[in-house]
Every structure is written in C-alpha cells, then in structure tokens.
C-alpha cells in the first residue's frame, strides 16, 4: 500500500470484499485522517463522532460491514496508509 496525504484521498466503494475490516495507520504531523461517508446527496461528510477523526499516531482497525462508500482524507500535514484486511 502507499501513503496518502491531503492531495490523495482514498475511496472504498461497496463491493464483494466490503465486509472485510480495514486498518488505517496515521502519521498525524499536526493534522488528522478523517473517515467520511457519502450522504444521500452524493456529498462526502465526516460524522461528528470522535472515532471518525484520527489524530493519534499508529494503527486503527475499522469495521466496514454494512457501510456506504467510504473516503479517507488527510488534513494538514497528516499522512495515512490503508490496508484492507483478509
């Protein structure tokens, strides 16, 4: 996998492997990685709950079962890497 920054969002569409969890590794560098979902209008939104804004360095496991399309973005100088678990 590759590291992403604020210029490279990571999109995950629902599909055959959508039931598998993922791991997001974050290097915050003063920013964050945000987990966004597509709303009914087709816009990407970050929910208000704190677990959708990752500000701590290190890995976070995210369950994906029964979720809409997901986008992960970096803010500021943050970087992140996504691994789709098997």
Per residue in 25-76, pLDDT (tens digit) is 999 999 999 999 988 899 999 999 999 999 999 999 998 887 888 999 999 9
Alpha-carbon gap, residue 63 to 41, rounded angstroms = 24
Q: Is 51 helix (H, G, I), strand (E, B) or coil?
A: helix
Is-above-0.85 flag for pTM?
yes
The residue whose two tokens read 């929910």 is: 47
Q: What radius of gyration, in Å, describes the C-alpha atoms of the chain?
A: 12
pLDDT in tens, 5-18: 999 999 987 766 67
Alpha-carbon gap, residue 48 to 40, rounded angstroms = 17
């Amino acid at each position: 996998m590759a590291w992403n920054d604020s210029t490279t969002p990571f999109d995950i569409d629902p599909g055959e492997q959508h039931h598998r969890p993922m791991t997001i590794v974050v290097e915050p560098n003063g920013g964050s990685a945000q987990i966004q979902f597509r709303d009914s209008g087709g816009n990407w939104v970050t929910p208000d709950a704190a677990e959708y804004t990752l500000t701590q360095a290190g890995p976070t496991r995210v369950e994906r079962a029964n979720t809409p399309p997901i986008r992960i973005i970096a803010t500021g100088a943050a970087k992140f890497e996504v691994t789709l678990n098997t």
